[in-house]
């Protein structure tokens, strides 16, 4: 067992704050819908098809089932879309 000096547990914890850069920013599917301008139901249908279908950007599914999309993945997906 590790011996801790008295009062060791009372010291405040340091938190590391990371700036929300474009590369490291994670978007919820709701934020994605707002930015792209599609209904939430459509976004979920696209996500079901998966990123391989190129209908939806690369994403991660959290353990609770929620979807998160990195900002740089969204931008790469938008750049690959055909222009009209």
Residue 26 host element (H or E): strand 26-28
Residue 54 host element (H or E): none
**Strand pairing report for 60-61 and 67-70:** antiparallel
* Residues linked to residue 27 through DSSP beta bridges, in sequence order: 69
Distances (CA, A) of 13 to 4, 5, 58: 16, 16, 34
- pTM metric for this prediction: 0.67
The 10s digit of each residue's pLDDT in 15-55 is 544 445 455 699 999 999 999 999 999 999 999 998 788 88
């Amino acid at each position: 067992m590790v011996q801790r000096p008295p009062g060791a547990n009372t010291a405040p914890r340091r938190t590391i704050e990371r700036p929300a850069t474009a590369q490291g920013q994670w978007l919820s599917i709701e934020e994605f819908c707002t930015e792209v301008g599609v209904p939430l139901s459509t976004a979920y249908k696209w996500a079901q098809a998966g990123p391989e279908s190129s209908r939806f950007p690369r994403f991660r599914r959290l353990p609770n089932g929620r979807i998160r999309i990195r900002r740089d993945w969204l931008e790469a997906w938008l750049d690959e879309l055909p222009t009209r």
